[in-house]
Amino acid sequence: MSASEDTVGARLLAWYDRHARTLPWRSPPGTPPPEPYRVWLSEVMLQQTTTAAVAPYFLRFVERWPTVEALAAAEDAEVMAAWAGLGYYSRARNLIAAARAVAERGGFPDTEAGLRELPGVGAYIAAAVAAIAFGRRAVVVDANVERVVARLFAIAEPVPQARKSIRERTDAITPDTRAGDFAQAMMDLGATVCTPRAPRCLVCPLSDACLARASGEPERYPVKPTKKAKPLRRGVALWIEREGNVWLVRREGRGMLGGMRALPDDGWSARADGSGAPAGEWRQAGMVRHGFTHFDLELRVLATTAAEEPLGPGEWWPIDRLDEAGLPTVFAKAAARALG
Same fold for the pair 5-140+164-192 and 232-339? no
**Active-site residue, 298 included:** no
Q: Where are the domains of the chain?
A: 5-140+164-192, 232-339
The CATH superfamily holding the domain 232-339 is Nucleoside Triphosphate Pyrophosphohydrolase (3.90.79.10)
Alpha-carbon separation of residue 319 from 21, 40, 46, 288 (angstroms): 40, 35, 31, 19
- Write down the CATH number for the domain with range 5-140+164-192: 1.10.340.30
Q: What is the pLDDT of residue 266?
A: 87
HSE of 157 in the Cβ direction (CA atoms, 13 Å)?
Answer: 10
Q: Which amino acid is at 204?
A: C
Q: What is the pLDDT of residue 3?
A: 47
Q: Which of 35, 43, 219, 315 is catalytic?
A: 43
Q: What is the pLDDT of residue 214?
A: 95
What pLDDT, in 10s, does the model give residues 48-59?
Answer: 899 999 999 999
SS3 category, 38: helix
**Bridge partners for 303 per DSSP:** 239, 283
Which residue ranges in the chain fall short of pLDDT 70? 1-6, 269-279
**Bridge partners for 315 per DSSP:** 248
Q: Which DSSP letter does residue 265 get?
A: B
In 53-211, the DSSP E strands lie at none
Q: What is the pLDDT of residue 1?
A: 42
Q: What is the pLDDT of residue 2?
A: 42
What pLDDT, in 10s, does the model give residues 217-275?
Answer: 999 999 988 778 889 999 999 999 999 999 999 888 777 888 889 999 988 765 555 55
Q: What is the pLDDT of residue 276?
A: 59
